[in-house]
Structure 1
Amino acid sequence: MKVFILIAAFLFSNLMISAAETKIMIRAKARDAKFIGSSLGGAHIIVRNKLNQQILAEGNTVGSTGNTDLIMKNPKIRGNSIADAQTAGFLASVDIDEPTFVNIEVISPLNNKQAQATVSTELWLIPGKHILGDGIVLEIPGFIIDILKPRTHQYIPLNTIKNKPFTFQANIVMMCGCVIDKNGIWNSDEIEVKGILKKDGKFMKNVEMSLVSTNLFEGNTVINTAGNYELILYAYYEKNGNTGVDKINYVVIE
């Protein structure tokens, strides 16, 4: 009996020794923009064993959006990093004792539900073989759009707006929070921003939106009848396929 216990203990000890810490740097990067980090609340990362769906590591990216010159301006050369020591990422650490096929899922932006997207990739992790540097970079497409005016379910007396320009406003940024400005790196002149206005569930008109200050787009129209209104506002950049949408409902009363 004692021999059996000693053998079992020996085998268990060897099993524990064979498990190796494996580190993976995981980053979320906005399409045609920079990394998603602390300034935007981070991107949420989940690493799962593909076979049994066990969560091996989980957390948020932290750090800066990265060096603009490295990411957006310098020519891309094989082997050169686009991340520096301050660039946002999540360093996952897992203990595995044999090659393990994993799913890495990124949910971002974490704090902007209407713009939130989930992207994932799969790969083999080898015990003790770290993936560091730029690491695993997952691309998040789109724009973050927040309609500022009118407010959600705002009641607006018709007599205060009749025969006057009614203004719509929206804040729009890249998925990393990077700014959109006239003639900037993310040039507002190249991004189509438009509102689709509905009244009582039926299409009413399109509303052209234009930049009035950094990230802030504005448009207006005349509203002369009461009803339940819905504004669907979108941004579209043809060059890279980035899109974004926000919706809001408001009520015009007699």
Structure 2
Amino acid sequence: MKALIFITAFLFTGFTASARETKIMIRAKARDAKFIGSSLGGAHIIVRNKVNREILAEGNTTGSTGNTDLIMKEVKKRGTSITDSQTAGFLASIDITEPTFISIEMISPFNNKQAQTTVSTELWLIPGKDILGDGIILEIPGFIIDILKPRTHQYISLTNIKGKPFPFQANIVMMCGCVIEKNGVWNSDEIEVKGILKKDGKYIKDVHLSLISTNLFEGSDVLNTPGNYELILYAYHEKSGNTGVDKVNYVVYE
């Protein structure tokens, strides 16, 4: 009887493949910029089995935004890495018994909801065949825009502002958090920043904003009538196609 149990167990083991740990490095890179890592709260990664949607790995990218010269300035050749040991990424470790078709979903920047973008890709993962080095790089387009003035649902007395320039102000960065400045790697002179101003749901005018310090853009307009106002502020970079938007509503009262 014992011999029969042993033989059965042996045969079963022989025909059952054991799971093998398989590692895959996943990185989020801002379009025309650097990697998204710890300084911005990271990009959120979800790795799923494509067939049954089982989550195989999940976490945030951590690490630095990477080497600016290596990523943005040096001439790229096939096989040349654009990352180093400090560059942000998420290392997924997955146990699989056979080639598995996976989907990778990336939500970034994870801590900036108004600028959040979801991108994804799919690929075969082979047991024991790691994908390391630069790994799988997903590109995140856009800008992160935070309107600073006026504040959300701010009540503004017409008496205090009538006939005076009313300031509009926004902080704008690349999707990796990289700085925008005059004549910098990300040159403010190449980025169009404009506010679309509405009152009581109707378009009034456009307001142009320009850089006043690193990442900080400002413009102004004269508000002479009370009402419910909305500012839709956008940034646009023609060369890369990067865009970004933020909105704010505020009230001017008599």
Q: Deviations over 1:166-217 (max 9, x none)?
A: 0000000000000000000000000000000000000011000000000000
Letter in 1 for 2:240: N
Aligned CA distance change for structure 1 residues 96 and 208 (closer, same or farther; 3 Å):
same
CA shift, 1:225, in A, is 0.6
* Residue 24 to residue 251, structure 1, CA distance change in 2 (3 Å): same
- Measure the CA separation in 1 of the matches of 2:36 and 2:200: 38
Distance (Å, rounded) in 1 between the aligned partners of 2:69 and 2:82: 9
Give the aligned partner of residue 54 of structure 1.
54
Q: 1:122/1:8 Cα in 2 relative to 1: closer, same or farther (>3 Å)?
A: farther
Q: Taking structure 1 as reference, are residues 175 and 7 closer, same or farther at Cα in structure 2, changes over 3 Å only? A: farther
Scaled by the length of structure 2, the TM-score of the pair is: 0.97
The residue identity in structure 1 corresponding to 2:27 is: R
Structure 1 position 18, deviation (Å): 2.3
CA root-mean-square deviation:
1.4
Shift of 1:13: 4.2
Aligned-partner SS, 1:18: coil
SS in 1 for 2:240: coil
3-state secondary structure, aligned to 2:33: coil
**Where does structure 2 lack aligned partners over 5 or more consecutive residues?**
none
Taking the aligned partners of 2:60 and 2:141, their CA distance within structure 1 comes to: 18
Would you say 1:242 and 2:242 are equivalent positions? yes
1:151 corresponding residue in structure 2: 151
- Taking the aligned partners of 2:9 and 2:203, their CA distance within structure 1 comes to 73
What is the match of residue 132 of structure 1?
132
Match of 2:20 in 1: 20
Aligned AA for 1:121? T
Q: Does 1:202 align with 2:202?
A: yes
Match runs of 1:159-174 below 5 Å: 159-174=159-174
SS at 1:114 equivalent: helix
Mapped to 1, the partners of 2:155 and 2:9 lie a distance apart of 72
SS of structure 2 residue aligned to 1:159: helix
Alpha-carbon distance change, 157 to 125 in structure 1, aligned in 2, over 3 angstroms: same
Q: What is the CA-CA distance between 1:14 and the residue it aligns to?
A: 4.8
Deviations 1:144-177 (A, max 9, x none): 0000000000001110100000000000000000
Structure 1: which 4+ aligned runs deviate by more than 3 Å? 1-17
The amino acid that maps onto 1:153 is H
Unaligned runs of 5+ in 1: none
Q: Give the direction of change, closer, same or farther, for the CA distance of 1:128–1:253 in structure 2 (3 Å limit).
A: same
Aligned counterpart, 1:36: 36
| SS of residue matched to 1:69 | helix
Q: For the residues of structure 2 that align with 1:53 and 1:119, how far apart are their CA atoms?
A: 17
Q: Is 2:108 the partner of 1:105?
A: no
Letter in 1 for 2:99: P
* Per-residue deviation, 1:6: 3.7
CA distance in 2: counterparts of 1:62 and 1:81, whole angstroms:
18
Q: Does 1:72 align with 2:72?
A: yes
In structure 2, C-alpha distance between the alignment counterparts of 1:8 and 1:202, rounded to whole Å:
78
Task: Quickly say closer, same or farther: Cα 1:192–1:15, change in 2 above 3 A.
Answer: farther
Aligned to 2:191: 191
Q: Relative to structure 2, which stretch is displaced further, 79-88 or 16-25?
A: 16-25
Please report how far the alpha carbon of residue 19 of structure 1 lies from its aligned counterpart in structure 2 after TM superposition: 1.1
Shift in CA distance, 166/12, structure 1 to aligned 2, threshold 3 Å: farther
Give the secondary-structure state (helix, strand or coil) at the position aligned to 1:42: coil
Distance 2:136 2:110 in 1: 19
Within 1, Cα distance between the matches of 2:14 and 2:244? 53
Q: 1:198 to 1:7 in 2, by over 3 A?
A: farther
- Partner in structure 1 of residue 89 of structure 2: 89
